[in-house]
């Protein structure tokens, strides 16, 4: 039995992506454009992009909110899943990232169903109040603001809205009560909110793979 280590986590992830996700020139071009623009390589792994896509389809979501667009890689997975009559609103703090995302979304043929709102979530999300409820919310932005984003996800959702919170593993640091890393503190606060706030019912799965030791929380608004 092979030892568990980052090298074989990555190899297994590549194997799973090969047989279950496949390779798609559009998404390859999106990643190439993100790299060329100097964006950090922190977009979701292909298997996780496919997970988002499946969760949208399994839940029948037609209106999706994404917090943290980066270059649009995960946005494309979400936009494909909602279909031509669905809608994705994605919030991005950095205008330069949003410009990369806009080009990628248009090149992927899903630009017409995606609205990018530029600004920090805490400022942009209140402006979405009063629009039709979102069916699924993917939170993948600054971890320090996770509780703000979860609160807005509940307010902008409805009973049954699916919430996916990225990066809950943090190399196991989430179990470290004494952490001083603000991103880990934000992750822990988000998880605590999912556990304690009566609006949510949630679980979380640790993952190992392309992105190391990480994980994802999945919740429903009750
Ligand atoms: C970081 C953020 C992410 O959304 C991610 O998927 C991985 C890492 C980060 O800020 O370190
Ligand atoms: Mg992430």
Determine, yes or no, domain membership for 78: yes
Q: What is the pLDDT of residue 213?
A: 94
Please tell me the chain's helix, strand, coil percentages from 3-state DSSP, rounded to the nearest 5. 50, 20, 30
**Which ligand lies nearest to the CA atom of residue 164 in the structure?**
2
Q: Which atom, in ligand 1's list, is nearest to the CA of 68? A: 4
Q: What is the pLDDT confidence band of residue 133, given thresholds at 50, 70 and 90? A: very high
- Give the domain range for residue 90: 6-221
Does residue 113 fall inside a structural domain? yes
Average pLDDT of the chain is 97
CATH number of the domain residue 52 falls in: 3.40.50.150
Q: What's the whole-number mean pLDDT along residues 74-98?
A: 98
Nearest CA to ligand 1 atom 5: 42
* 146 within ligand 1 shell (Cβ under 6 A): no
- Look at ligand 1, atom 2, and give the residue with the nearest C-alpha: 42
Q: How many domains does the chain have?
A: 1
Residue pLDDT, tens place only, 2-48:
788 999 999 999 999 999 999 999 999 999 999 999 999 999 999 99
Ligand 1, pocket-test mutation among 31, 34, 42, most atoms within 8 A of CB:
42
Q: What is the pLDDT of residues 148-178, one digit of tens each?
A: 999 999 999 999 999 999 999 999 999 999 9
Q: Looking at the domain assignment, is residue 193 inside a domain?
A: yes
Residue 19 maps to a domain: yes
1 within a domain of the structure (yes/no): no
pLDDT of residue 2: 74
Look up the pTM and report it: 0.98
Decide if 128 is inside a domain.
yes
Ligand 1 atom having least distance to the Cα of 141: 4
Say if 89 falls within a structural domain: yes
């Amino acid at each position: 039995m092979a030892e568990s280590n980052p090298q074989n986590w990555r190899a297994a992830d590549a194997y799973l992506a090969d047989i279950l996700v496949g390779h798609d020139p559009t998404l390859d071009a999106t990643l190439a454009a993100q790299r060329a623009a100097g964006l950090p390589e922190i977009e979701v792994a292909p298997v996780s992009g496919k997970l988002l896509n499946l969760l949208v389809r399994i839940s029948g979501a037609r209106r999706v909110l994404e917090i943290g667009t980066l270059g649009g890689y995960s946005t494309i997975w979400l936009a494909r899943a909602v279909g031509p009559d669905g809608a994705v609103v994605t919030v991005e703090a950095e205008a330069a990232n949003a410009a990369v995302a806009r080009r990628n979304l248009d090149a992927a043929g899903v630009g017409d169903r995606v609205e990018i709102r530029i600004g920090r979530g805490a400022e942009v999300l209140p402006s979405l109040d009063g629009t039709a409820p979102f069916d699924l919310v993917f939170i993948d932005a600054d971890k320090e603001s996770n509780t703000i984003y979860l609160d807005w996800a509940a307010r902008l959702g409805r009973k049954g809205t699916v919430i996916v919170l990225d990066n809950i593993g943090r190399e196991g640091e989430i179990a470290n009560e004494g952490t001083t890393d603000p991103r880990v503190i934000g992750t822990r606060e988000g998880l605590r909110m999912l556990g304690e706030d009566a609006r949510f019912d949630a679980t979380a799965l640790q993952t190992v793979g392309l992105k190391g030791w990480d994980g994802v929380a999945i919740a429903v608004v009750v």
